Amino acid sequence: MVTSSHEAAHRIFQDRPELLTPVFGVLGIPLPAKTSVEVLTGDATEIRPLERRVDSVLRVETSEGQRFLLAIEAQGRKDPGKETSWPYYTAYLRDKHDLPVLLLVVCKDRATAKWAAGPFTTGYENWILQSTHPMVLGPDNLPVITSPREAGRNLALATLAAMTHSKDRDVDAILEALASALGSADRESADYFFELLEIGLGNTPARENWRNLMAVGTYFPGRGTLVEETFLKAKAEGMAEGRAEGKAEGKAEGKAEERALSVLRILEARQIPTLESHRQRITECSDLDVLDHWLRRAITATDAEDLFTEDEPADD
């Protein structure tokens, strides 16, 4: 399970190895589309009690028989310590696996990306013993994808680009395009990329915008569809009711009732039949995370029972 924006920026390569071909294209390095990828441990610890760990390590084999390792690091800021640890990682992996090694650094801001490109050298005076040249993905070379059609062609690349451009002025258009593209994706992919990007955006205003977009679905936000109109009406009514009742019962309870009302209104608008047991379970739930999960499910569910599948967030 992805647990931080840092991990999301490199974990996507493990989960969606098809991302490597377009990424290598961005970097100007040809990589055949039919390429197999194996996830390896990032542990570079020796016998000495000093832990060293690479974020992600992939073993790549192209259809032409070429084999190499790809070490991936997500870097949020300039860190002088990496100028020595990155050469160590690559040398260690080269020796351990007896394969050529490339280092890819994913950055979310231009200053960090410029620094991460190196080169980082080791030597004395004018003599260079070792020089490390990382490949870098950042705002300057990852595309700004504002077309739903383009986002739909490669959801993994669109998601990575959205993470990287989370602080750009075009971020709202980027998120809207990806939200629209997820509307035609299978539910498993839509759920995965929604959650991954929500985590990958970290504590930025873009994260809240993304949550709001996906709350009305993967159904073309801003197009005035029935589901969207119903959701927005329910949200407005729920917020009003939540504020009124919150004075007596507390803010948290008001929010829970707002979410529950939104779930029921969307099911009603989509003409999904609900039993009394369904309505009771929804209205009696006080866990906001579970209610948010049901809210997203209500948009694509074909039966009320779809809301309560086993992959829902567990109650604390």
The total domain count for the chain is 2
Task: Quickly list DSSP for 236-272.
Answer: HHHHHHHHHHHHHH-HHHHHHHHHHHHHHHHHHHTT-
In a domain, 285, yes or no: yes
Structural domain of 63: 5-137
Q: 126 and 12, same structural domain?
A: yes
Q: Comparing C-alpha atoms, which of 115, 179, 121, 120 is closest to residue 145?
A: 179
Same domain, 128 and 238: no
The phi and psi torsions of 93 (rounded to 5 degrees) equal -65, -35
Query: Among residues 108, 137, 166, which one ends one of the domains?
Result: 137
Inside any domain, residue 185: no
Asked, for residue 196, whether it belongs to a domain, the answer is no
What are 87's two structure tokens?
């050469």
Q: Taking a C-beta distance cutoff of 8 angstroms, is the pair 216, 227 a contact?
A: yes
Residue range 19-57, pLDDT digits in tens? 888 888 888 887 776 778 777 754 444 444 434 567 888
What is d(CA 116, CA 164) in angstroms, rounded to the nearest whole number? Answer: 15
Which of 137, 164, 184 lies at the terminal end of a domain, its last residue? 137
In a domain, 81, yes or no: yes
At residue 268, what is the residue type? E
Q: Say if residues 14 and 39 touch (Cβ distance below 8 Å).
A: yes
Task: Tell me the pLDDT of the chain averaged across its residues.
Answer: 79
Distance CA(25)–CA(20), nearest Å, equals: 8
Q: Is residue 112 part of a domain?
A: yes
Residue 282: inside a domain? yes
Separation between Cα atoms, residue 254 and residue 211, nearest integer Å: 19
From 137, 154, 177, give the residue that closes a domain: 137
Per-residue pLDDT tens digits of the chain, which is 316 residues long: 344 677 778 888 888 878 888 888 888 887 776 778 777 754 444 444 434 567 888 999 988 888 999 999 989 899 999 999 999 999 999 999 999 999 999 998 899 999 999 999 988 788 898 899 999 999 999 999 999 899 999 999 999 999 999 888 888 899 988 988 887 788 788 878 888 888 888 888 888 888 777 765 443 444 454 444 555 565 556 555 555 554 545 566 677 887 888 888 878 777 788 888 888 898 888 888 888 888 878 877 778 888 887 544 444 4
Looking at residue 244, its pLDDT comes to 54
Write down the number of H helices and E strands in the chain: 13, 7
User: CA separation (Å) from 228 to 73, 193, 219, 303?
Assistant: 39, 21, 8, 19
